[in-house]
Amino acid sequence: MPQVVLVNPQIPPNTGNIARTCAATSTELHLVGPLGFEISDRYLKRAGLDYWPYVKLHYHESLEAFKTIHKKRGGRRLGFSVKGSVNYVQFQFQDDDWLLFGSETTGLPPVILSACDATLHIPMAQPQVRSLNLSVSVAVSLFEARRQLGCLM
């Protein structure tokens, strides 16, 4: 099943909400540091409510540490960005995909985007809206991947 990767997330409630989505879907969640908060942050815990025992959480201290795990496990790295070249609903997801999302303030750095196998975007009708909330973007993307792969609950 696809896995969710958050690179340098900054806002605890977003990460908590994403963890809750990952718990509900049995999706592995990878946090790549540095983080903008402590893993024990009360806002992070509160957003995830009592679902943390069900989160398949992996913490990587750096991008290099994450790259090592990715290399061992394989699969495509799919970078999500407002500058992505492919509409996410027109993309064909695979079981071993890694869905990469950047921080709420800066998104994925160019060096990460350039190393991705594909860059995807979620279309928005209103050009004045810069982006969707990170937790919304993850949920929309993850559920589309799961829908395509026939993995809806």
Domain residue spans of the chain: 3-148
C-beta neighbour count of 46 within 10 angstroms = 11
**pLDDT given for residue 129 in this prediction:** 87
Is 122 flagged in the annotation as binding?
Answer: yes
Is 112 flagged in the annotation as binding?
Answer: no
Identify the segments of the chain with pLDDT beneath 50: none
Is 26 flagged in the annotation as binding?
Answer: no
C-beta neighbour count of 73 within 10 angstroms = 11
Write down the CATH number for the domain with range 3-148. Answer: 3.40.1280.10
How are strands ordered across the β-sheet holding 77-80?
56-60, 28-32, 3-7, 98-101, 77-80, 118-121, 86-87
Burial of 130 (0-12, 13-18, 19+ CB in 10 A): exposed
